[in-house]
Amino acid sequence: MDTVLDLDALSEAEGENWQWSGEVWLRPDYARCLIRLSRGGADAVVVREFDAESRAFVDNGFTVSEAKTHVAWRDRNAIYVGTDFGPKSFTESGFPRWVKLWRRGTPLEQAETLYEGNLSDVRVSAWRDHTEGFERDLLHRSLTMFTNELFLLRHRQLIKIGKPDDADATLYREWLLLKLRSEYQVEDRIYPAGALLVADINGFLAGERHFEVLFEPTERKSLSGFSTTQHCILLNILDNVKSRILVVRRENGDWVSSALPGVSEIATVTAWGIDSDKSDEYFLATTDFLTPTCLQRGIAGGGPPTELKRTPAFFCADGLEAKQFDALSSDGTRVPYFRVSRTQLEHNGKNPTLLYGYGGFENSIVPYYDSNVGAAWLEAGGVFVVANIRGGGEFGPRWHQAALKENRSRAYQDFIAVAEDLVARGVTSAQHLGAMGVSNGGLLVGNMLTARPDLFGAIVCMMPLLDMRRFNVLLAGPAWVGEYGNPDDPVEWKWLRKFSPYHNLSADEQYPPVLFTTSTRDDRVHPGHARKMAAKMLGIEHANVLFYENIEGGHAGAANNKQVARLSALVYSFLRRNLFPS
Catalytic residue check, 400 = no
Cβ within 8 Å of residue 181, ≥6 positions away: 146, 164, 166, 167, 168, 193, 194, 397, 401
Do 389 and 414 contact (CB within 8 A), yes or no? yes
Question: How far apart are the C-alpha atoms of 507 and 510, rounded to whole Å?
Answer: 8
Query: Of 447, 377, 463, 374, which is closest to residue 409 (Cα–Cα)?
Result: 447
Selected catalytic residue, list 364, 439, 519, 568: 439
Do 415 and 336 contact (CB within 8 A), yes or no? no
Cβ within 8 Å of residue 393, ≥6 positions away: 222, 224, 362, 363, 364, 399, 400
Query: Of 175, 172, 76, which is closest to residue 129 (Cα–Cα)?
Result: 172
Selected catalytic residue, list 70, 400, 529, 555: 555
- Cross-strand bridge partners of residue 175: 172, 200
Question: How far apart are the C-alpha atoms of 353 and 83, rounded to whole Å?
Answer: 45
Amino acid at 156: R
Q: Within 13 Å of residue 203, how many CA atoms lie on the same side as its CB?
A: 10
98-103, strands of its sheet edge to edge: 70-75, 78-82, 98-103, 112-116
Helix axes 440-451, 409-424, angle to 10 degrees: 70
Do 382 and 340 contact (CB within 8 A), yes or no? no
- Cross-strand bridge partners of residue 226: 235
- Burial grade of 84 (CB within 10 A; 0-12, 13-18, 19 or more): middle
Catalytic residue check, 330 = no
Do 134 and 174 contact (CB within 8 A), yes or no? yes
Query: Of 302, 168, 309, which is closest to residue 229 (Cα–Cα)?
Result: 302
Backbone angles phi, psi at 79, to 5 degrees: -130, 155
Task: Please report, for residues 364, 376, 442, 571, the alpha-carbon distance to residue 372 in angstroms, rounded to integers and kept in the order given.
Answer: 20, 6, 19, 10
Cβ within 8 Å of residue 55, ≥6 positions away: 4, 5
Query: Of 487, 488, 506, 507, which is closest to residue 496 (Cα–Cα)?
Result: 487
Q: Is 126 helix (H, G, I), strand (E, B) or coil?
A: strand
Cβ within 8 Å of residue 271, ≥6 positions away: 227, 234, 236, 245, 260, 282, 283, 284, 285
Amino acid at 155: H
| Residues involved in catalysis | 439, 555
